Every structure is written in C-alpha cells, then in structure tokens.
Amino acid sequence: MAEEQRVRSVRSGNNVLATGRRKTAVARVRLRPGAGTITVNGRALDAYFPAIKDRVLVSGALEIVGRQSAVDVSIKVDGGGPTGQAGACRLGIARALKSLDGELAEPLRQGGLLTRDGRMKERKKYGLRGARRGTQFSKR
C-alpha cells in the first residue's frame, strides 16, 4: 500500500508557492526574485508585526541562507495570534526556499526551520474548567 505524498510547495514560473502552519495559523507564501521586500496581508512586515521577536522569526529563514536581498516575499496569513502567525510565516518561507534551491535544504534543516511545530492547544474536558484544571474544592 503506497502512502499518498502531500505537496508542500509548488513552482509556477518564477514564483514559488508554499504553505506553513503553526498552532491554528496558516500562511500561504509566495517567493519571487526581487529586492528583498516582505509583505504580509498587503502590509509591510514592520506594520503587520510590531513586535521585534515576531519580525526576527519571520525573516530568520532568509538570513540563515543569505537571501534577504535576493527575493521578494508575499504572505497571506490567517488564524491564530501574532506568534502563531509568525511561526507559520517562517515555516512557509523555509519551505519555499527549499523548493527554490535544493542546496538550501541542509542549512535550513540544521537551523530547525523545516520542522513543523506540532504543539496545539489541549482541548477542554467535560467536568473540568479547562483542559486539566478542576473545580475549586469547598469544604463547607
């Protein structure tokens, strides 16, 4: 029985399309040759992610391979919060770079950028106030 292999990135002309996920956020990344601009949902990276840690997370893959001024990145991201969205963008950019140039796969893997972070929020259980928190004990 052959396993079905999922497509993670697609090349169409000069564009490379890839998807990144983190928590409940999904980022669709488009990479094309250019001057190094990064736009997220039609806004500049600095405007969309005001926190420095999120901007560093998004641009980390480009810095590791030294392509920050060689490609333009256009990202559409939805779901989750700022940290999850930044992580999804990072994974999408790393996958797109790997599809663009296969030799970049090893430095990206060494940096841990091609691994999907599978941690999700634990679901609430019945009879409890949260995933694990029970009700407060009352003696009287």
- How does pLDDT run across 95-119, given as a tens digit for each residue? 999 998 889 999 999 999 999 999 9
Domains and CATH numbers, the chain: 15-110 (3.30.230.10)
Beta-strand relationship, 38-40 and 71-78: parallel
Q: Are 61 and 101 in contact, with CB atoms under 8 Å apart?
A: no
| Partners of 71 in beta bridges | 33
Nearest to 124 by CA among 134, 114, 116: 134
* DSSP H stretches of helix in the chain: 45-48, 52-65, 82-100, 105-110
| CA pair distance 95, 108, nearest whole angstrom | 9
Count of CB atoms situated within 10 Å of the CB of 97 = 27
The mean predicted confidence, pLDDT, of the chain is 91
Backbone φ and ψ for 67, nearest 5 degrees, come out as -115, 15
Q: What is the pLDDT of residues 7-64, one digit of tens each?
A: 567 777 789 999 999 999 999 999 999 999 999 999 999 999 999 999 999 999 999 9
